[in-house]
């Protein structure tokens, strides 16, 4: 067996082991390595699905004979009568094989026996000691690892500078894992001294790039452990570039087996750097770049060692985590399953650490999908494997919060309670009562007690744990890190359970008032907006902040937060080691450093809040109480807030006079999604003829009204304006189209759809506006009136998404004639759901928006030359470079996109003209990052081609996120479409809306929209141009109800 070395994840911290293949560092290549090679051009975004990975895995068929051979080598008996040197090599190679198939305990034992038979100071003995140090580290024996690594360093001849550099880099890493950064830097300085001497050596031209790669990796590992992620990214990139160059220029000194071993080791190092770079990018929230490098590492591993290998399994596992962080749960589960299969194909034993971690990851991915029974089966397999090795069970732990959650969702609260209680006792002993992990487990224990009906005990634990959890979530919210989506989902599960308990305290069906209503109102706003807030915080961290003072403060705060989180994670890992493997003095120093970083972070946050309150409110909004919210309401307004959990729904109603109530409703998130999808089938039918439009289900719509609005009607009735804070699928359905009374389905009439004019829609009773969050209302109400001297309008529309569309547009008149009155033409919407890979060119053009923008601009007195940006002018560059702060209405008549719609898209965006059509005009997207950097002073921002129907509520969340981003940029309200509109009806509706606002001073936006909707609904409808007879009425809600006002 060759001496190839596998890289390991050490307790969740990506600290790569040293590649110790024979001659791996003695055989790099010609060419000066004085500087890293030039940065390669940016890679294209990865496909939006993993279909290409699935094909790649099918291509690299595993060879069962390889796994069988590895197991046979690991089980081989020592040769009888062998001499000392033969036994040394036997135990060395058998230990390496055992490690490669996940038998960490055997690997350590065999390598220790190799020490007994080796010759100290020999090259092989030194390399074997480095193998043993890495194995001890992987096995959780941190101090043993350091002692062995130091012995390896001492035995390395000082005149072998390449080997000395490798040993010093390994010592740097070992002390980083221990949290002893002072000693780690000492060895890094030793490595830098060796590196400096190597530059003057005769073999620099041959090996310089390999040595440079090793040096940069040492720097990167310290940066990463300290939370200095930007510096770590730069160092990993340099290490990767240097090794790429080294691999591209193989040594002329080596041939045959020696050259193959050297190339294998170098390629494995490259894969390790690709995974390390992907990990540090993921820790910064750069998920697209992380996926690019993780995919590349996986492809390289498959090419080098095939499907049934530990390296392929590690690549699949990392890619699963990156995909999960994007909310692609089904794909994450598939990749996690394939990672487990690769470990098994590689010969990993059921009781190995690799299999245990792979099963835990698969179980978590299944829980995220809601496949709780399957997850429990996987967790049980994990526990069965761990029972065969007590030490492994101690390191991995048999309890798991995802298992607890799966048990609760599967109706087994007794098992959930037992596991949560055992984990709570263990974590409190190891980490202390106030550590984030202990607090989270305490909240899960409260969930289990609540599920068992032990309300008093659960309430006590919730009231103890939830405030700490929320504070910890706020502290971690300043930076996107690996696992953020998983923690956010756990927090939401905890808050949902607490909400359900609070609703049950008053009894079944009771309307709750007082302190419990206030507490639930605050918690729901946090849970409701957690995913949106996470996206906004990530965008704010990436956004190009124009104010240099704010940019400096924000970056400094993010740096302090990153470093605090990194040290806290490392400390937690160290505290999980056996007492004899810990260094109390080092851990005390880490605690001191963490507290200093937190103090600095809090000081910076206070300074940001004092000097830049709008930014502080964006990245860290404080949940509003009932009393605070009531003060922001006008006398004729009422606020309705909704939340839908896994088991139940909740609604709150309040008015300016202090009336407030909270009720539980018999509808959970899945129930709501089913009903909204059924209603939307008549609103987003995707048909081409009038007689194909389905009837709107009035009975179902009224039942939804009766469930959601009627219970608290005594509070909100009499209001002229309802401010609704929707949640989940309710964000895809305007409340205005719910009937307030049961009504029969209209029969056929001479004019299609005219019967809907008699329906008692909620719209006839009250105007409705939508809010992205409760806290957004106070921010909007603080905005001063806009400058009366602003220009009236600017519009961007009819963008061109491909050269084919540009050619098509070039042969058409610049202003296409209006559609024939009475024609039925639904606006196109993106259809990328079934595409494995999708770019801008797949988006359908929206030529009707050309007329829409021109007509609205005409109503508002716009100058076509200065205010209308169509086709080749509708670019990202035009939006970002135009002064939008002097416009009352800013309109984007283009597709609204959600994360995952197109390759590499990880945030909400508006699609603009492609760079394929107009070079140098941007990337074709106005992302949420870009919106945050805009300077607006707009009464309206119009998004007239959005579709909120994306799966899992992503469309509604995208609107909510874009809404808050536009509000931060200076907008007062958004006008947003919920489904593809009928072009003529949409144009009539919007022109009427803006005419009414211009003609009637003081009319609220929601009332102006209500009146325009009623006029369209009750009007003459679409008429045949030749006969003048009515073709159909616009009373079907498909025509009059697509738009909602979001904001004030």
CATH code, domain carrying 1031? 3.40.50
Q: Span 354-363, mean pLDDT?
A: 91
* pLDDT band at residue 40 under the 50/70/90 scheme: low
Asked if residue 447 belongs to a domain, the reply is yes
Strand pairing class (868-870; 909-911): unpaired
Instruction: Classify each residue of 267-278 as buried b or exposed e, where b means 16 or more C-beta atoms within 10 Å of its C-beta.
Output: bbbbbbbbbbbb
Distance of CA 493 to the CA centre of its chain: 17
* pLDDT band at residue 970 under the 50/70/90 scheme: confident
For 910, the enclosing helix (H) or strand (E) is strand 909-911
According to the model, what pLDDT value does residue 395 have?
66
Asked if residue 276 belongs to a domain, the reply is no
Asked if residue 514 belongs to a domain, the reply is no
- C-beta contacts of 482-486 below 8 A and 24+ residues apart: 482/279, 482/282, 482/283, 482/321, 482/325, 483/321, 483/325, 484/285, 484/325, 484/534, 485/324, 485/325, 485/327, 485/534, 486/324, 486/364, 486/368
Range name among 408-422, 427-441, 719-733 with the lowest pLDDT average: 427-441
Cα(719)–Cα(713) distance, integer angstroms: 10
Residue 630 shares a structural domain with residue 613: no
According to the model, what pLDDT value does residue 70 have?
81
According to the model, what pLDDT value does residue 11 have?
25
Indicate whether 441 pLDDT > 50. Answer: yes
Under 8 Å between Cβ of 846 and 945:
yes
595 half-sphere exposure, CB direction, 13 A CA radius: 6
111-140 per-position pLDDT tens digit: 999 999 999 988 888 889 988 988 888 777
Residue 579 shares a structural domain with residue 682: no
> 381 exposed, middle or buried (CB, 10 Å; 0-12, 13-18, 19+)?
middle
Instruction: Classify each residue of 78-103 as buried b or exposed e, where b means 16 or more C-beta atoms within 10 Å of its C-beta.
Output: eeeeeeeeebbebbbbbbbbbbbbbb
Under 8 Å between Cβ of 394 and 11:
no
Looking at per-residue confidence, does 965 or 926 come out higher? Answer: 926
Looking at per-residue confidence, does 432 or 759 come out higher? Answer: 759
Strand pairing class (1043-1047; 767-770): parallel
439 half-sphere exposure, CB direction, 13 A CA radius: 16
* pLDDT band at residue 905 under the 50/70/90 scheme: confident
Residue 824 shares a structural domain with residue 913: yes
Cα(726)–Cα(736) distance, integer angstroms: 13
Residue 618 shares a structural domain with residue 630: no
Under 8 Å between Cβ of 853 and 873:
no
Cα(1021)–Cα(1043) distance, integer angstroms: 18
Cα(294)–Cα(109) distance, integer angstroms: 33
Asked if residue 152 belongs to a domain, the reply is no
Residue 474 shares a structural domain with residue 611: yes
Give the number of other CB atoms < 10 A from CB of residue 882. 17
Residue written as token pair 């009637």: 1000
Domain boundary (593, 622, 651) is at 622
* pLDDT band at residue 286 under the 50/70/90 scheme: confident
According to the model, what pLDDT value does residue 99 have?
83
Cα(218)–Cα(225) distance, integer angstroms: 11
Residue 733 shares a structural domain with residue 867: no
Residue written as token pair 């090679």: 37
Residue 711 shares a structural domain with residue 808: no
Cross-strand partners of 796: 869, 892
Range name among 90-99, 554-563, 631-640 with the lowest pLDDT average: 554-563
Asked if residue 767 belongs to a domain, the reply is yes
Residue 611 shares a structural domain with residue 471: yes
According to the model, what pLDDT value does residue 253 have?
60
Give the number of other CB atoms < 10 A from CB of residue 743. 17
According to the model, what pLDDT value does residue 1044 have?
93
Cα(964)–Cα(537) distance, integer angstroms: 11
For 538, the enclosing helix (H) or strand (E) is helix 530-542
1005-1017 per-position pLDDT tens digit: 999 999 999 999 9
Residue 783, token pair as written in the block: 């905005």
Domain range for 998 is: 791-1047
DSSP SS3 for 714? helix
| φ, ψ at 441 (rounded to 5°) | -65, -35
Residue written as token pair 């590992």: 221
* pLDDT band at residue 813 under the 50/70/90 scheme: very low
What's the alpha-carbon Rg for the chain, to the nearest Å?
31
According to the model, what pLDDT value does residue 295 have?
94
Cα(416)–Cα(400) distance, integer angstroms: 10
Q: Distance between the two ends of the chain, CA-based, in angstroms?
A: 71
Most confident residue range from 86-90, 126-130, 543-547:
86-90
288 half-sphere exposure, CB direction, 13 A CA radius: 15
Contacts of 596 (CB under 8 A, 6+ apart): none
Cα(716)–Cα(144) distance, integer angstroms: 68
Q: Could you tell me what percent of the chain has a pLDDT over 90?
A: 43
According to the model, what pLDDT value does residue 609 have?
87
Looking at per-residue confidence, does 110 or 619 come out higher? Answer: 110
Cα(243)–Cα(37) distance, integer angstroms: 10
Cα(449)–Cα(456) distance, integer angstroms: 9
Residue 969, token pair as written in the block: 């940029």
Looking at per-residue confidence, does 789 or 757 come out higher? Answer: 757
551-584 per-position pLDDT tens digit: 888 888 888 888 888 888 888 777 777 777 777 8
Closest listed residue to residue 401, CA positions, set 449, 438, 355: 438
Under 8 Å between Cβ of 67 and 308:
yes
Alpha helices in 800-922 (DSSP H): 803-810, 848-859, 864-867, 876-881
Cα(760)–Cα(766) distance, integer angstroms: 11
Domain boundary (714, 748, 776) is at 776
Asked if residue 416 belongs to a domain, the reply is yes
Indicate whether 237 pLDDT > 90. Answer: yes
Asked if residue 936 belongs to a domain, the reply is yes
Residue 926 shares a structural domain with residue 984: yes
Asked if residue 393 belongs to a domain, the reply is no
Domain boundary (604, 622, 640) is at 622
Q: Span 685-690, mean pLDDT?
A: 85
Residue 422 shares a structural domain with residue 569: yes
Under 8 Å between Cβ of 811 and 858:
no
Under 8 Å between Cβ of 294 and 335:
no
Residue 981 shares a structural domain with residue 995: yes
Tell me what the pLDDT averaged over the chain comes to.
84
Cα(171)–Cα(153) distance, integer angstroms: 8
Residue 634 shares a structural domain with residue 603: no
* pLDDT band at residue 682 under the 50/70/90 scheme: very high
Residue written as token pair 């598939």: 334
Q: Span 956-967, mean pLDDT?
A: 74
Under 8 Å between Cβ of 1032 and 1021:
yes
* pLDDT band at residue 366 under the 50/70/90 scheme: very high
Cα(990)–Cα(395) distance, integer angstroms: 63
Number of domains in the chain: 3
């Amino acid at each position: 067996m060759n001496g190839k070395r596998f890289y390991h994840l050490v307790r969740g911290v990506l600290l790569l082991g040293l590649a110790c293949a024979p001659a791996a560092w003695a055989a790099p290549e010609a060419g000066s390595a004085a500087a890293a090679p030039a940065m390669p051009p940016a890679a294209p975004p990865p496909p939006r699905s993993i279909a290409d990975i699935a094909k790649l895995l099918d291509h690299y068929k595993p060879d069962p004979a390889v796994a069988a051979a590895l197991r046979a080598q690991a089980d081989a008996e020592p040769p009888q009568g062998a001499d000392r040197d033969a036994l040394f090599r036997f135990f060395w190679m058998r230990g390496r094989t055992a490690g490669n198939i996940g038998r960490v305990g055997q690997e350590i034992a065999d390598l220790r026996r190799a020490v007994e038979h080796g010759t100290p100071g020999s090259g092989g003995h030194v390399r074997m000691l480095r193998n043993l140090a890495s194995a001890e580290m992987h096995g959780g024996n941190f101090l043993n690892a350091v002692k062995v690594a130091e012995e390896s360093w001492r035995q390395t001849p000082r005149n072998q500078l390449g080997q000395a550099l490798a040993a010093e880099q390994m010592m740097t890493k070992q002390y980083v894992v221990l949290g002893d950064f002072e000693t780690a830097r000492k060895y890094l300085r030793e490595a830098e001294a060796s590196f400096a001497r190597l530059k003057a050596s005769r073999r620099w031209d041959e090996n310089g790039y390999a040595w440079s790669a090793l040096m940069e990796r040492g720097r990167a590992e310290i940066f990463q452990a300290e939370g200095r992620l930007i510096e770590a990214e730069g160092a990993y990139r340099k290490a990767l570039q240097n090794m790429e160059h080294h691999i591209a220029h193989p040594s002329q000194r080596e041939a045959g087996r020696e050259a193959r071993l050297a190339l294998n080791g170098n390629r494995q190092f490259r894969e390790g750097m690709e995974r390390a770079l992907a990990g540090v990018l993921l820790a910064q929230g750069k998920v697209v770049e992380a996926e690019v490098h993780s995919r590349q590492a996986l492809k390289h591993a498959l090419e080098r060692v095939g499907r049934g290998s530990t390296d392929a399994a590690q690549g699949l596992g990392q890619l699963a985590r990156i995909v999960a962080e994007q909310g692609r749960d089904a794909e994450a589960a598939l990749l996690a399953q394939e990672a487990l299969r690769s470990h098994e194909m590689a010969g990993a034993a059921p009781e190995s650490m690799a299999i245990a971690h792979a099963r835990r990851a698969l179980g978590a991915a299944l829980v995220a999908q809601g496949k709780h029974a399957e997850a429990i089966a996987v967790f049980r397999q994990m526990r069965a494997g761990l029972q065969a090795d007590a030490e492994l069970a101690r390191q991995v732990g048999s309890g798991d919060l995802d298992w607890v959650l799966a048990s609760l969702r599967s109706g087994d609260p007794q098992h959930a309670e037992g596991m949560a209680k055992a984990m709570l006792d263990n974590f409190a002993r190891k980490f202390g009562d106030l550590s984030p992990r202990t607090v989270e487990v305490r909240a899960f224990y409260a969930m289990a007690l609540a599920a068992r009906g032990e309300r008093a005990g659960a309430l006590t634990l919730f009231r103890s744990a939830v405030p700490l959890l929320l504070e910890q979530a706020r502290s971690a919210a300043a930076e996107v890190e690996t696992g953020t989506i998983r923690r956010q989902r756990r927090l939401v599960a905890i808050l949902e359970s607490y909400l359900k308990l609070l609703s049950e305290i008053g009894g079944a069906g009771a309307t709750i008032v007082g302190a419990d209503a206030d507490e639930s109102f605050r918690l729901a706003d946090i849970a409701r907006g957690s995913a949106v807030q996470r996206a906004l915080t990530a965008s704010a961290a990436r956004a190009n902040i124009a104010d240099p003072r704010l940019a400096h403060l924000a970056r400094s705060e993010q740096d302090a937060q990153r470093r605090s989180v990194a040290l806290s994670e490392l400390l937690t890992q160290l505290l999980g080691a056996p007492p004899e493997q810990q260094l109390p003095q080092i851990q005390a120093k880490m605690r001191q450093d963490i507290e200093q970083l937190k103090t600095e972070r809090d000081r910076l946050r206070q300074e940001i809040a004092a000097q830049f309150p709008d930014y502080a409110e964006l990245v860290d909004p404080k949940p509003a109480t009932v009393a605070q919210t009531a003060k922001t309401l006008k006398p004729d307004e009422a606020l309705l807030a909704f939340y839908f959990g896994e088991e139940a729904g909740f609604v709150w109603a309040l008015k300016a006079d202090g009336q407030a109530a909270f009720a539980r409703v018999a509808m959970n998130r899945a129930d709501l999604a089913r009903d909204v999808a059924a209603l939307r089938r008549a609103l987003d039918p995707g048909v081409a003829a009038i007689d194909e439009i389905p009837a709107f289900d009035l009975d179902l719509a009224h039942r939804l009204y009766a469930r959601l609005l009627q219970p608290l009607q005594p509070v909100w009735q009499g209001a002229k304006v309802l401010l609704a804070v929707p949640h989940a699928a309710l964000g895809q359905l305007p409340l205005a189209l719910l009937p307030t009374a049961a009504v029969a389905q209209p029969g056929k009439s001479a004019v299609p759809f005219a019967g809907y004019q008699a329906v008692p829609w909620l719209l006839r009773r009250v105007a409705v506006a939508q809010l992205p969050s409760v806290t957004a209302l106070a921010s909007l109400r603080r905005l001063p009136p806009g400058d009366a001297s602003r220009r009236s309008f600017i519009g961007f529309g009819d963008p061109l998404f491909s050269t084919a569309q540009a050619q098509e547009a070039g042969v058409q008149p610049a202003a296409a004639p209006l559609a024939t009155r009475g024609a039925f033409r639904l606006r196109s919407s993106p259809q990328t759901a079934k595409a494995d890979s999708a770019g801008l060119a797949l988006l359908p053009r929206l030529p009707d928006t050309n007329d829409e923008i021109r007509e609205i601009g005409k109503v508002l007195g716009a100058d076509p030359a200065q205010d209308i940006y169509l086709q080749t002018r509708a670019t990202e560059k035009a939006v970002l470079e135009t002064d939008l702060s002097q416009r009352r209405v800013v309109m984007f008549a283009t597709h609204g996109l959600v994360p995952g719609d197109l390759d590499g898209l990880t945030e909400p965006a508006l699609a603009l003209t492609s760079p394929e059509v107009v070079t140098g005009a941007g990337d074709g997207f106005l992302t949420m990052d870009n919106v945050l950097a805009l300077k607006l002073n707009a009464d309206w921002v119009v998004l007239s081609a959005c579709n909120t129907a994306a799966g899992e509520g992503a469309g509604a969340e995208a609107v909510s996120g874009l809404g808050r981003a536009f509000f931060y940029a200076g907008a007062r309200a958004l006008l947003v479409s919920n489904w593809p509109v009928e072009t003529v009806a949409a144009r009539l509706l919007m022109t009427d809306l803006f005419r009414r606002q211009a003609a009637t001073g003081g009319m609220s936006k929601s009332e102006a929209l209500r009146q325009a909707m009623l006029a369209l609904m009750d009007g003459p409808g679409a008429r045949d141009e030749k006969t003048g007879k009515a073709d159909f009425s616009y009373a079907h809600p498909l025509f009059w109800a697509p738009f909602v006002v979001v904001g004030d």
